[in-house]
Structure 1
Amino acid sequence: MRVLLVTYWELTQMGGIWTYVKQLADRLMALGVEVDIMGTNGAKNEVYIRNLNRSFSKDKVWPMLQAKLNPTDLPQFTADALVAYYELNRYAFEMGAAYLGVDHYDVIHAQDPVAAVAMRRILNRNTPMVTSYHGALAREAFYDAQNSNAQLTLPEYLQSKRGRYFLSLEERSAEQSELILVSSNWIKSTLTDLRVPESKFRIIPYAVDIPAYRAQARVKFRQRKPAGKKVIAFTGRLEHIKGVHILIKALSGLKKFRSDWVCWIAGEGNLMEDLRSLANDLGVGADIVFWGKLDNIPSFLRHADIYVQPSLQDTQPFSVTEAQLAGLPVIVSGTAGMPEMVQPEHTGWVVPPQDVEALSSLLNALLQDDATLAKVGAAAKAWAEQHRSLEEMGLRTLHVYQEAIQLGGQRI
């Protein structure tokens, strides 16, 4: 079997999609599957097949697309700059994928709705496609918009032109896929709300290469934690949807009660400087270390005592699983798929989303209860090792491909 794992987004080392794609590809190849990986290289503005070192520059078709999709001939198309940007890039991505070739694969496994829509337009009718939904595209776009307009509500956004556009991508990609992979019941519920049939869904939780994780964790991190202080950790992209600003505000409240802690934040993103400024403005700039991009997160987490995932929306973040494997008690926001990763007060805690006071109070209580931290951390590690096996994820995904091939044959 030959499979293409394809995403419209960039394949960056800090991104959850890349972690999933890389680990899935490695496991499928161990099972005898031929796997290619296609994505976007933003720095070079190209579509490329990562493992084959083949690429197509979008610059070659960009002038032609801009000439065809212009404000004079298509005023409604270009009325919203963000929608026009997405569509132009989708067409360019589609043309790049067609140039690189996709018809010789037995299964196309799209990693997002944009890629799925693009692939179906250029595929032979009988080529089966599986689509993974790693998040809810329309809702993620809402949180980005809310960052600029705090009064905006989700129902209002979903009824707007932009909201309907992103919902249409989710609807079209689901309709055009043989089967749909999701990691949580929450992400499944967002799609059933769009009238996607239950029969299309297969739930396979994300997994981690546990032996590789353990090997990385044995590597010594370059700095020890400060004497007499516990480390509160976060890893991930520094973007609004990850809610790091919520964590920083909670730490400001925590500092009023105690100073026996430091916060370590690993990751990079477009909000790095804004978050630094926020920390300084709230008086906790000296208590937070922004490490930037780190190549070895398991080693980093060995020095942590508590892990916080304050996201506004997150399906099943790898960072939580990595923290659990490190034996850390985790605190997650009670939204999206994150509560499904935690057994409250047994393997971690769930706090109301964007509730700064609740998060601050919980951190204050935990920092003075070493016995609970140790007990919950040990339970979290045992749970993750039992339920996040990469071998099982790879085998179950292969079975989904085989099922999709049977369903794809019915298109003929």
Structure 2
Amino acid sequence: MKVLLVTYWELTQMGGIWTYVKQLADRLMALGIEVDIMGTNGAKNEVYIRNLNRTFSKENVWPMLQAKLNPTDLPQFTADPLLAYYELNRYAFEMAAACLGVEHYDMIHAQDPVAAVAMKRILKNNTPMVTSYHGALAREAFYDEQNSNPQLTLPAYLQSKRGRYFLSLEQRSAAQSELILVSSRWIKSTLTSLQVPEDKFRLIPYAVDLPAYRSQASVRFRQRPPAGKKVIAFTGRLEFIKGVHVLIKALASLKQLRSDWVCWIAGEGNLLEDLRSQANDLGVGGDIVFWGKLDNIPSFLRRADIYVQPSLQDTQPFSVTEAQLAGLPVIVSGTAGMPEMVEPAHTGWVVPPQDADSLSALLNALLQDDATRQRVGAQAKAWAEKYRSLEEMGMRTLQVYQEAIQKGGHPI
């Protein structure tokens, strides 16, 4: 079987989609499946098949697309610059994928709605397609916009032109996929609300390559915490939807109560300088270390005492599982798929989303209770090692491929 894992988004060495795609590809290849990976390189403005070293520059088709999709001939198309940007890039992605070639695969596994719609538009045969929904596209777009418009509500956004556009991509991709992979009950619920049939879904939680994780964790991180300080950690993209601004606000309140802590933040993103400024303005700039991008997160987490995932929306973040495997007590926001990852007071805690006061109070309680931190961290590690097996995820995903091929009337 030849499988194409394809995403419209950029493939980077840090981030949930890349972690999922890389681990799944490695596991499928260990099972004898031929796997190619297609994604976007934003820095070079190109689409590429990663393991084949084949690329297509979107600049080759950009002038033609801009000439065709212009304000004079298509005023409605270009009325909203954000949607025009998405559509131009989607067309360019389609043309690049068509030139790179997608007809010879037995299975297309799209990693997002944009890639799924693009693949179905260019496929000349009826190659079966499975789509993974790693998040809720329309809701993520809402949080991006709420960053600059705090008064905006989710219902209002979903009724807007932009909201309807992103919802339409989710609906179209779901309708065109033989089967849909989700990692949480929450992401499934967002799609069933769009009238996607229940029998299309297959729930397979994300997993971690445990031997590789243990190997990385065995490397000692280069920096020790300051004497007498416990480490509160976060890893991930520094974007509004990740809620790091909520964590910093909670830390400012925590500092009024105690100073026996430091916060270590690993990751990069467009809000780095804004978050630095927020920390300085709230008087905790000297208590937070922004490490930037790190190549070895398991090693980093070995130095931590508490892990916080304050996201406004997150499906099943790998960072939480990595923290659990490090034996850390984790705190997650009570939104999206994150509450499904912890059993309160047994493998972690759930706090109301965007509630800095509740987060601060819980951090204060945990910092003064070593026994509870250690007990919950140990239980979280045991749970993650039992239920987050990469071998099981790979086998179950392959079974979904085989089911999708049969569903489409193709021989296996």
TM more than 0.5: yes
Once residues 180 and 291 of structure 1 are traced to their aligned partners in structure 2, the CA distance between those partners, rounded to angstroms, is 36
Counterparts of 1:2-17 in structure 2 under 5 Å?
2-17=2-17
Asked if structure 2 preserves the Cα contact closer than 8 Å seen for 1:126 and 1:410, the reply is no
- Residues 1:87 and 2:87 aligned together: yes
Once residues 401 and 290 of structure 2 are traced to their aligned partners in structure 1, the CA distance between those partners, rounded to angstroms, is 41
Amino acid paired to 2:76: Q
- Residues 1:138 and 2:138 aligned together: yes
Q: Could you tell me which residue of structure 2 aligns to residue 101 of structure 1?
A: 101
Q: Could you tell me which residue of structure 1 aligns to residue 72 of structure 2?
A: 72
Once residues 377 and 389 of structure 1 are traced to their aligned partners in structure 2, the CA distance between those partners, rounded to angstroms, is 19
Q: Could you tell me which residue of structure 1 aligns to residue 216 of structure 2?
A: 216
Q: Secondary structure at the match of 1:148?
A: coil
Q: Secondary structure at the match of 1:124?
A: coil
Once residues 103 and 406 of structure 1 are traced to their aligned partners in structure 2, the CA distance between those partners, rounded to angstroms, is 18
Once residues 35 and 370 of structure 2 are traced to their aligned partners in structure 1, the CA distance between those partners, rounded to angstroms, is 46
Amino acid paired to 1:232: I
Once residues 304 and 143 of structure 2 are traced to their aligned partners in structure 1, the CA distance between those partners, rounded to angstroms, is 29
- Residues 1:175 and 2:175 aligned together: yes
Amino acid paired to 2:334: G
Once residues 258 and 376 of structure 2 are traced to their aligned partners in structure 1, the CA distance between those partners, rounded to angstroms, is 22
Q: How much does 1:410 deviate? A: 6.9
Q: How much does 1:14 deviate? A: 1.3
Q: Could you tell me which residue of structure 2 aligns to residue 376 of structure 1?
A: 376
Q: How much does 1:126 deviate? A: 1.8
Amino acid paired to 2:195: R
Amino acid paired to 1:162: R
Highest relative contact order (Cα 8 Å, sep 6+), 1 or 2? 1
Counterparts of 1:228-267 in structure 2 under 5 Å?
228-267=228-267
Q: Could you tell me which residue of structure 2 aligns to residue 194 of structure 1?
A: 194
User: Tell me, which stretches of 5 or more residues in structure 2 are unaligned?
Assistant: none
Once residues 163 and 341 of structure 2 are traced to their aligned partners in structure 1, the CA distance between those partners, rounded to angstroms, is 28
CA distances 1:75-132 after superposition (whole Å, capped 9, x unpaired) = 1110000000000000000000000000000000000000000000011342000000
Once residues 304 and 410 of structure 1 are traced to their aligned partners in structure 2, the CA distance between those partners, rounded to angstroms, is 50
Amino acid paired to 1:348: G
CA distances 1:167-189 after superposition (whole Å, capped 9, x unpaired) = 00000000000000000000000
Q: Secondary structure at the match of 1:400?
A: helix
Q: Secondary structure at the match of 2:354?
A: coil
Once residues 124 and 338 of structure 1 are traced to their aligned partners in structure 2, the CA distance between those partners, rounded to angstroms, is 39
Given the superposition, is the C-alpha separation of residues 337 and 110 from structure 1 closer, same or farther in structure 2, using an over 3 Å criterion?
Answer: same
Amino acid paired to 1:13: Q
Once residues 62 and 41 of structure 2 are traced to their aligned partners in structure 1, the CA distance between those partners, rounded to angstroms, is 15
Amino acid paired to 2:233: A
Q: How much does 1:13 deviate? A: 1.0
Q: Could you tell me which residue of structure 2 aligns to residue 268 of structure 1?
A: 268
Amino acid paired to 1:189: S
Once residues 42 and 323 of structure 2 are traced to their aligned partners in structure 1, the CA distance between those partners, rounded to angstroms, is 30
After superposition, the CA RMSD in angstroms is 0.8
Once residues 124 and 401 of structure 1 are traced to their aligned partners in structure 2, the CA distance between those partners, rounded to angstroms, is 20
TM-score normalized by the length of structure 1: 0.99
Amino acid paired to 1:394: G
Given the superposition, is the C-alpha separation of residues 312 and 171 from structure 1 closer, same or farther in structure 2, using an over 3 Å criterion?
Answer: same
Q: Could you tell me which residue of structure 2 aligns to residue 30 of structure 1?
A: 30
User: Tell me, which stretches of 5 or more residues in structure 1 are unaligned?
Assistant: none
Q: Could you tell me which residue of structure 1 aligns to residue 361 of structure 2?
A: 361
Amino acid paired to 2:5: L
CA distances 1:249-301 after superposition (whole Å, capped 9, x unpaired) = 00000000000000000000000010000000000000000000000000000
Once residues 97 and 343 of structure 2 are traced to their aligned partners in structure 1, the CA distance between those partners, rounded to angstroms, is 42
Q: Could you tell me which residue of structure 2 aligns to residue 161 of structure 1?
A: 161
Asked if structure 2 preserves the Cα contact closer than 8 Å seen for 1:254 and 1:361, the reply is yes
Once residues 325 and 123 of structure 2 are traced to their aligned partners in structure 1, the CA distance between those partners, rounded to angstroms, is 40
CA distances 1:330-373 after superposition (whole Å, capped 9, x unpaired) = 00000000000000000000000000100000000110000000
Q: Secondary structure at the match of 1:409?
A: coil
TM-score normalized by the length of structure 2: 0.99
- Residues 1:127 and 2:127 aligned together: yes
Counterparts of 1:284-303 in structure 2 under 5 Å?
284-303=284-303
Amino acid paired to 1:155: P
**How many residue pairs get matched?**
411
Once residues 263 and 14 of structure 1 are traced to their aligned partners in structure 2, the CA distance between those partners, rounded to angstroms, is 20
Asked if structure 2 preserves the Cα contact closer than 8 Å seen for 1:126 and 1:409, the reply is no
Asked if structure 1 preserves the Cα contact closer than 8 Å seen for 2:225 and 2:231, the reply is yes
Q: How much does 1:409 deviate? A: 2.1
Asked if structure 1 preserves the Cα contact closer than 8 Å seen for 2:185 and 2:337, the reply is yes
Once residues 173 and 211 of structure 1 are traced to their aligned partners in structure 2, the CA distance between those partners, rounded to angstroms, is 35
Asked if structure 2 preserves the Cα contact closer than 8 Å seen for 1:325 and 1:384, the reply is yes
